[in-house]
C-alpha cells in the first residue's frame, strides 16, 4: 500500500479459511519482515513474502525442435541439444536444450554475470548458424532468440535457488540466537555468545581470492543488530554494560 512517504508494508497473518488480520503496524519492508519472521518462529509456520518478484514465466515449448542436422554444426555445442525424431528418422536441434546447456555452463556471482556469458556464447553460436547452408538468415535469428529465452529462464531459476540458499547476516544471527536461547541460557550468557559468534564469523572474513572482505564491518553490524533485537524480544533485557 502507499502512504504520504511512499510505499508502506503491512505484516499480516493468514488463517486456514484464507481470512487475514494485521499483526503489527504499517511501516517499512524490513520491519514487516522482521515481525513476520518472529511470528513464524513463535508459531512454527511459514512466511509468504509477497514483495518478492514473481517467478519467471516458463518458456513456451512450441518451436523448440528445428530441422538442423548435427553435421551442420560443431560437436562442441553446450549440453546435448540433439533429439532423434523417430517418425522422420532424423535428428533435430532442440533449442530449449541448447539454451539450458548454455545456461549451465555460465558462471558468475550475479544473474547479470551469467546472462552476459550466455549472450557471449550465443554470439558464437550465431556465427555457426550463419555459416550453415541449411539455416536461412531470418531463421538463425529466431533460433538464437528461442535459445536465449530458455537460457535466461534457466539461469534465472538457478540464481534464485542459489540466492535462497545464502543466509543474510540478519538471518545468520537470528538463527544463532534461536539455537542458543532454548537451553535455559541467561541473557548475559547469550549476549556474550552472540558477540563471540559475530567476531568469529565476520572478524576475518575474506573474499574467494583471500583478500579482506570490504563490507565485513557492515555485515557484522547488521548481524549484531538483528541478533541483539532477537535476544531482547525473547529475553526482555538490555545489553550488559
pLDDT in tens, the chain (241 residues): 444 445 677 888 887 777 788 888 887 877 787 888 778 777 767 666 666 544 445 566 788 888 888 888 877 788 778 888 888 888 889 998 899 899 988 877 678 888 999 999 999 999 999 888 888 888 999 999 999 999 988 888 877 766 665 567 888 888 888 888 776 788 888 889 899 989 988 888 887 777 888 888 998 999 999 999 888 887 776 555 5
| In-domain check, residue 56 | no
Determine the structural domain holding residue 38 and report its residue range: 1-50
- Is residue 192 domain-shared with residue 212, that is, in the same domain? yes
- Is residue 2 domain-shared with residue 41, that is, in the same domain? yes
The closest of 218, 189, 106 to 152, measured between CA atoms, is 106
- Is residue 241 domain-shared with residue 210, that is, in the same domain? yes
What is the reported pLDDT for 167?
A: 66
Q: Please report where in the chains the cell 542458543 appears, as a residue.
A: 180
| In-domain check, residue 58 | no
Q: Which three cell numbers stand for residue 45?
A: 509456520
- Is residue 154 domain-shared with residue 175, that is, in the same domain? no
Q: Residue 147 and residue 104: Cα distance in Å, rounded?
A: 13
Instruction: State how many domains the chain has.
Output: 3
| In-domain check, residue 88 | yes
Of 149, 165, 181, which closes a domain? Answer: 165
Q: Residue 85 and residue 72: Cα distance in Å, rounded?
A: 17
| In-domain check, residue 118 | yes
What is the reported pLDDT for 46?
A: 67
Q: Residue 172 and residue 220: Cα distance in Å, rounded?
A: 11
| In-domain check, residue 18 | yes
What is the reported pLDDT for 146?
A: 92
Q: Residue 20 and residue 37: Cα distance in Å, rounded?
A: 17
Strands (E), the chain: 2-3, 6-7, 12-14, 20-22, 65-66, 82-85, 90-94
| In-domain check, residue 131 | yes
The closest of 28, 41, 43, 20 to 177, measured between CA atoms, is 41
66: β partners: 93
- Is residue 155 domain-shared with residue 69, that is, in the same domain? yes
| In-domain check, residue 57 | no
Q: Which three cell numbers stand for residue 165?
A: 540458499
Of 140, 165, 190, which closes a domain? Answer: 165
Amino acid at each position: 500500500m502507499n502512504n504520504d512517504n511512499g510505499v508502506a508494508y503491512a505484516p499480516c497473518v493468514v488463517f486456514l479459511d484464507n481470512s487475514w488480520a494485521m499483526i503489527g503496524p504499517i511501516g517499512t519492508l524490513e520491519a514487516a519482515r522482521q515481525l513476520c519472521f518472529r511470528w513464524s518462529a513463535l508459531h512454527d509456520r511459514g512466511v509468504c513474502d509477497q514483495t518478492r518478484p514473481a517467478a519467471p514465466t516458463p518458456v513456451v515449448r512450441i518451436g523448440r525442435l528445428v530441422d538442423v542436422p548435427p553435421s551442420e554444426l560443431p560437436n562442441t555445442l553446450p549440453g546435448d541439444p540433439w533429439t532423434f525424431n523417430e517418425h522422420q528418422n532424423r535428428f533435430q536441434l532442440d533449442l530449449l536444450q541448447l539454451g539450458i546447456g548454455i545456461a549451465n555452463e555460465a558462471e558468475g556471482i550475479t544473474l547479470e554475470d551469467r546472462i552476459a556469458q550466455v549472450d557471449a556464447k550465443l554470439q558464437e553460436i550465431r556465427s555457426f548458424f550463419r555459416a550453415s547452408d541449411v539455416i536461412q538468415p531470418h531463421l538463425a535469428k529466431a533460433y538464437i532468440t528461442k535459445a536465449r529465452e530458455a537460457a535466461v529462464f534457466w539461469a534465472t531459476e538457478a540464481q534464485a535457488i542459489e540466492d535462497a540458499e545464502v543466509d543474510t547476516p540478519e538471518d545468520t544471527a537470528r538463527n544463532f540466537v534461536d539455537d542458543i536461547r532454548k537451553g535455559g541460557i541467561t541473557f548475559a550468557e547469550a549476549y556474550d555468545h552472540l558477540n563471540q559468534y559475530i567476531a568469529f564469523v565476520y572478524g576475518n572474513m575474506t573474499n574467494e581470492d583471500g583478500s579482506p572482505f570490504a563490507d565485513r564491518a557492515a555485515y557484522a553490524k547488521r548481524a549484531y543488530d538483528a541478533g541483539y533485537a532477537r535476544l531482547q524480544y525473547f529475553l526482555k533485557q538490555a545489553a550488559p554494560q
